[in-house]
Chains A and B, each alone.
Chain A
Amino acid sequence: MSKIKIYWLCQIGGWSLFGFANIFTYYIQRNTLDHTDILGELLQIIFYIGSTHFLRHLIKKGNWVTISPLKLIPMALLADLVLGLANYLFLLALFFVFGALIPTVELKSINIFLGILGPTTMYFLWSLLYFSFHYFYQYNQSLKYEAVINEIELQHLKTQLNPHFIFNALNSIRGLVDENPAKSKSAITHLSNILRNSLLMDKKKFIDFEEEMAIVKDYLELESIRYEERLRVSYDISQQTKGIKVPPMMMQTLVENGIKHGISHLKEGGEIKIYAGINHNQLVINIRNSGQYVNGKKPEGGYGLINTQKRLELIYGNSAQMTIANESDKMVLTEIKIPIQVEKPPAQNLPKTG
């Protein structure tokens, strides 16, 4: 429903309800109703609708919603009072027209006071509702906006396969064709697995840990063909990790990082060791690679890590951690801890966006 429809529905519905309640009260009090009561109430409601609509016009025109509450409250109160006074005068005029004006009663100061206070209160309640709705709506919009932004950012951070890797792999395979046809065939299969996964992953927020592991293994198989004896890989994967949901291509990115910034710079090559297990209800992934981590010194080295960190933050908030540090003077340890999710993860409950 559009905002303007909601507005008119509330205006007419709300004030009509108020009018009916008034008439009902008269009837209870006096046990009788005549047509002037009903007509008077009707005119009263029309006046309320008209005057509040006028107030809305002022609010919109003066852009009151942008004014700080400290200034807005006295302004709104003053407007409510002026409208209350106008409403009172309108009522007096109405009584006069109907010939029901009894000056000695109506013009008593206590009655004037109550006569103005009543409608002013109504206007005050109206303003309260109007601004509350407005702020609530704005807040809701900003939440939605944030969700959209998060979604876009996540899409952006999802790592694309490194083209360098793809072409180097293809080149190695080409060199392998004559030398070892069987091995080159399996290399082509590994490469197609990776390409297929990276194309499909764009659409998924989470995959099973073992699927991610399969990608990592395909990836390392290919890199082993390229680096040959310069790359040594070992795995230590706990059976408990089965079925745990992880963001796709995240581990692959970190392993690739380890090769790109570690192994590939070492003339003698080095090791990649992957461990995954459960500890304190968290999935713990350790990726060790030969080399040395130089914090901040290599600007081109940071993107994979920074993106991964941002991704974790967007998906898990504070409940996931990533650290990277030199474990010894020959080994870098990258560690990720993420909360265990087997069922639907919370991030999927974010408002759906087209």
Chain B
Amino acid sequence: MKTLIVDDERLARKELNSILAEFTEIEVIGEAVNADDAYEKINQLNPDLIFLDIQMPGKTGFELLESLEKVPKVIFTTAYDQFALKAFDYNALDYLLKPIDSERLANAIAKLKEEKPGTINQEVQQPHKLMPSDQVFVKDGEKCWFVKLENIRLFESDGNYIKVYFETFRPMIHKSLNALDEKLDDRSFFRASRKHIINLGWVDTIEPWFNGGLMVQLKGGERVEVSRRQASRFKEKMSL
């Protein structure tokens, strides 16, 4: 697993590096000294996993995740910020307390390996596109989630924000729907209208609607209108 270590303290990075040496499945491909450095290295090296310190000069670890389009697997490392990680109650999320206990580290790595295969580099990559198995980081007020794109049913634009529908949550992220649309893989996501992007995998029923449009019901119960302009393209996609 290609791994990046993100921590502002040299000794902390060194320490983690030396513990990780025991784990043959982990290949440390780089180190970053702050969030900006990490942002560049993540985009450049495309790691599968990052070890992420929370408190760093400049941006925090959370802010780094928010700025990323596609988020690798994350294991937080922290001296005493386990409280901040309470925000992740909804996700199985791993963190390690510094000084790091190598047994706990082994567990965390084992847990990553257990996750269904195919998550790591098995699809035909389209450059700069987000795959269904990619995860994104969503933060809404005090709560945060790592969400796999395949679990997101619907993106709905709401002013300068996008409402993200998954499970029973619909947090808002600060992004434009157009920018997001460009990043999403159009084999799985479809721009239904000016306001909506739907996940084709979650479509339940389709019925004809006024003016030659369509009404799509998603498996989560949401009803989304597909505009007349998009309707034929939609039919084409669904018939495939």
Interface on A for B, CB 8 Å cutoff?
Answer: 163-164, 167-168, 170-172, 174-176, 178-179, 225-228, 264-267, 269
* Residue of B11, B15, B97 most packed against chain A (CB within 10 A): B11
Residues B94-133 near A (CB distance < 8 A): 97-100
User: How far, in angstroms, from A267 to B55 measured CA to CA in the complex?
Assistant: 12
Q: Is the interface of B mostly helix, strand, loop or mixed?
A: loop
User: How far, in angstroms, from A228 to B15 measured CA to CA in the complex?
Assistant: 15
In the complex, per-residue mask of B1-40: 1 if CB is within 8 Å of any chain A CB, else 0: 0000000011110110010000000000000011000000
* Residue of A174, A176, A264, A265 most packed against chain B (CB within 10 A): A174
Residues of A within 8 A of B99 (CB): 167, 170-171, 174
Interface presence of B80 (CB below 8 A): yes
User: How far, in angstroms, from A228 to B10 measured CA to CA in the complex?
Assistant: 8
A178-B18, A179-B14, A264-B55 are contacts. A167–B97 as well, Cβ < 8 Å?
yes
Interface on B for A, CB 8 Å cutoff?
Answer: 9-12, 14-15, 18, 33-34, 55, 57-58, 79-81, 97-100
Residues of B within 8 A of A267 (CB): 33-34, 57-58
User: How far, in angstroms, from A176 to B10 measured CA to CA in the complex?
Assistant: 10
Q: Which of A172, A175, A228, A265 contacts B57 (CB 8 A)?
A: A265
User: How far, in angstroms, from A264 to B53 measured CA to CA in the complex?
Assistant: 13
* Residue of A174, A175, A176 most packed against chain B (CB within 10 A): A175
Contact A167 B11, beta carbon cutoff 8 Å: no
User: How far, in angstroms, from A111 to B52 measured CA to CA in the complex?
Assistant: 100
Q: Which of B18, B57, B79 contacts A164 (CB 8 A)?
A: B79
User: How far, in angstroms, from A167 to B81 measured CA to CA in the complex?
Assistant: 11
A167-B79, A170-B99, A171-B15 are contacts. A265–B9 as well, Cβ < 8 Å?
no
Contact B57 A167, beta carbon cutoff 8 Å: no
Closest Cβ neighbor of A168 among chain B residues:
B79
Q: List 26 A-B contacts (CB under 8 A).
A: A163-B79, A163-B80, A164-B55, A164-B79, A164-B80, A164-B81, A168-B79, A168-B98, A171-B9, A171-B11, A171-B99, A172-B9, A175-B10, A175-B18, A176-B11, A178-B18, A179-B11, A225-B11, A226-B9, A226-B11, A228-B9, A264-B57, A266-B57, A267-B33, A267-B34, A269-B57
